């Protein structure tokens, strides 16, 4: 199993370790609910070093990027970030990712752990005609997410970057605990927070994580594991690749039309299929739901609409902060209005569900 450079810290903090995408990572430390609520009310510190970092450099870095992604990277400025889809010809997802514009000829793409190799090969293959160097530097980088209302104060104690004026989806380069780092105001929790990218040996990476956790005590911030990361992102209706988005659902079906810029200058992979789908209309859409009866609708549980089978729950949990069972699923467009009801089959029992407004949770800004 692969270990992040922070691995040792998880054992010091007595994390409950599990295998995730080939990595030895903590599912929780003190407890999933406790960690989830801490991120909503104070703060949480996550090791997300398994995420991938792929660099685009060169004269035509932007053109190559524009050809590959659904969003319009020409709108970026240095120090800004954009969420985008890496799409198949059919307009479905190879992956979802963040694009960091370092400068005119240099971009950092942050991709999902499970997809690093696949994405890298896809990007290389589909950028052959452009003057761009694409490098997978995932092994070199560690990534720590500091999330929650206290994130700014806590992280400020470790960095010379002035965090207060940093906007959402902006980043800066500076030093964190003496190490060169990229710090962005981003996250996967629905809270304010930061993600730190840095290169170091294991000792320094573990030390930073332990020091953040140690200093975090002052703010009631806790180290948090993959369990809370998943429930937090779901409450905020942030899609998870492999669950809610994949290579058989399009950007439009995933209700992510805002990352689709059909009119941008550079033609891009998936554009034709999506332009056509936009015109013809989608037949299914990703929606959020609550269960009306007792139970938890989990990933893969079958769905019934008007008595007929229609796919399965893509993500589902008991939402620890909202304290109710929630989930996501693709439903027929004629049956996806807020308030519409359908059923989830939970171990042979049919349980009623109702479509609700999403995100399920939205923080007060």
Q: Which of residues 119-158 bind another protein (CB under 8 A)?
A: none
Q: Which of 263, 294, 308, 365 binds another protein (CB under 8 A)?
A: 294
Binding to another protein, residues 315-354 (CB under 8 A):
317-318, 320, 347
- Which pairing describes strands 141-147 and 171-176: parallel, antiparallel, or unpaired? unpaired
**Near another protein by CB under 8 A, which window of 25-33, 49-57, 60-68, 257-265?**
25-33
Provide, rounded to whole angstroms, the least separation between the CB of residue 33 and another protein: 4
Rule CB under 8 A: say whether 31 interacts with another protein. Answer: yes
Nearer to another protein, 38 or 65 (CB): 38
* Binding-residue pattern over the window 188 to 227 for another protein, x denoting contact by CB under 8 A: ---------------------------------------x
SS (H, E, C) 302-359: EEEECCEEEEEEEEEEEECCCCEEEEEEEEEHHHCCCCCEEEEEECCEEEEEEEECCC
Sequence-ordered strand ranges (E) for 90-158: 93-103, 106-111, 133-136, 141-147
Q: State in angstroms the smallest separation of the CB of 63 from another protein.
A: 44
Least distance between another protein and beta carbon 29 (Å):
12
Give all strands (DSSP E) within the chain, no chain letters: 16-20, 23-28, 43-47, 52-57, 81-87, 93-103, 106-111, 133-136, 141-147, 171-176, 179-184, 193-199, 221-223, 284-291, 302-305, 308-319, 324-332, 341-346, 349-356
Least distance CB 309 / another protein (angstroms): 21
Q: How many residues of this chain bind another protein (CB under 8 A)?
A: 15
Cα angle 332, 330, 281; round to 5: 50
HSE-up (13 A, CA, CB side) for residue 111: 28
Nearer to another protein among residue 149 and residue 225 (C-beta): 225
Q: Do the beta carbons of residue 272 and residue 279 sit within 8 Å? A: no
Q: How far is the CB of 319 from another protein (least distance, A)?
A: 9
Please state the closest distance from residue 228 (CB atom) to another protein, in A.
Answer: 9
Residue 158's φ and ψ, nearest 5 degrees, are -115, -5
The tokens for 162 are 């002035």
- What is the distance between the alpha carbons of residues 189 and 324, in angstroms, rounded to a whole number? 17
With CB under 8 A as the contact rule, the residue among 49, 71, 200, 231 that binds another protein is 231
The owner of tokens 């439009």 is: 252
Residue 184 corresponds to which tokens in the numbers above? 């962005």
Instruction: Quote the CA–CA distance of 247 and 263 in Å, as a whole number.
Output: 23
Angle formed by the axes of helices 32-41 and 226-235, nearest 10°: 50
Span near another protein by CB under 8 A; candidates 31-39, 68-76, 246-254, 266-274: 31-39
Shortest Cβ distance from residue 294 to another protein (Å)?
6
Which residue in 4, 28, 147, 206 binds another protein (CB under 8 A)?
28
Supply 347's token pair.
Answer: 């171990």
Taking the complex as a whole, the smallest distance from the CB of residue 348 to another protein amounts, in Å, to 11
CB of 132 to another protein, least distance (A): 42
| Region from 111-119, 133-141, 242-250, 289-297 binding another protein, contact rule CB under 8 A | 289-297
Q: Which of 229, 261 has the CB closer to another protein?
A: 229
- Per-residue tokens: 9: 């810290």
Please identify which residue in 9, 25, 32, 273 interacts with another protein, judged by CB under 8 A.
Answer: 32
Kindly tell me which of 296 and 356 has the beta carbon lying closer to another protein.
296
Residues lying near another protein in the complex (CB under 8 A) are found at: 27-28, 31-33, 227, 231, 294-296, 298, 317-318, 320, 347
């Amino acid at each position: 199993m692969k270990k992040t450079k922070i691995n040792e810290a998880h054992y010091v903090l007595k994390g409950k370790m599990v295998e995730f995408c080939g990595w030895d990572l903590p599912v929780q430390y003190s407890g999933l609910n406790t960690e989830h609520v801490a991120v909503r009310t104070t703060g949480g510190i996550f090791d997300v070093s398994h995420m991938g970092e792929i660099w685009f450099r060169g004269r035509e870095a932007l053109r190559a990027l524009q050809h590959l992604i659904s969003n319009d990277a020409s709108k970026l400025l240095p120090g800004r970030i954009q969420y985008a889809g890496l799409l198949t010809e059919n307009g479905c997802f190879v992956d979802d990712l963040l694009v960091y514009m370092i400068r005119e000829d240099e971009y950092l793409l942050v991709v999902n752990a499970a997809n690093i190799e696949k994405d890298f090969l896809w990007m290389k293959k589909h950028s052959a005609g452009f003057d761009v160097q694409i490098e997978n530097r995932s092994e070199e980088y560690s990534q720590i997410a500091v999330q929650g209302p206290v994130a700014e104060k806590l992280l400020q104690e470790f960095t010379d970057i002035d965090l207060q004026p940093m906007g959402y989806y902006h980043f800066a380069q500076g030093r964190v605990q003496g190490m060169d780092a990229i710090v962005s105001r981003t996250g996967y929790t629905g809270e304010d927070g930061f993600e730190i990218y840095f290169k170091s040996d294991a000792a320094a990476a573990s030390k930073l994580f332990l020091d953040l956790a140690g200093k975090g005590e002052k703010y009631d911030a806790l180290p948090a594991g993959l369990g809370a990361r998943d429930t937090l992102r779901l409450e905020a209706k942030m899609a998870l690749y492999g669950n809610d988005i994949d290579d058989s659902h399009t950007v439009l079906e995933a209700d992510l039309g805002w990352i689709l810029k059909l009119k941008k200058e550079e033609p891009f992979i998936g554009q034709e299929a999506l332009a056509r789908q936009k015109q013809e209309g989608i037949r299914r859409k990703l929606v959020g739901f609550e269960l009306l009866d007792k139970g938890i609708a989990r990933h893969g549980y079958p769905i019934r609409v008007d008595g007929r089978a229609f796919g399965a729950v893509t993500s589902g949990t008991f939402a620890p902060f909202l304290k109710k069972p929630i989930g996501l699923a693709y439903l027929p467009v004629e049956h996806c209005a807020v308030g519409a009801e359908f059923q989830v089959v939970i171990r042979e029992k049919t349980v009623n569900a109702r479509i609700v407004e999403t995100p399920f949770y939205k923080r007060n800004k």
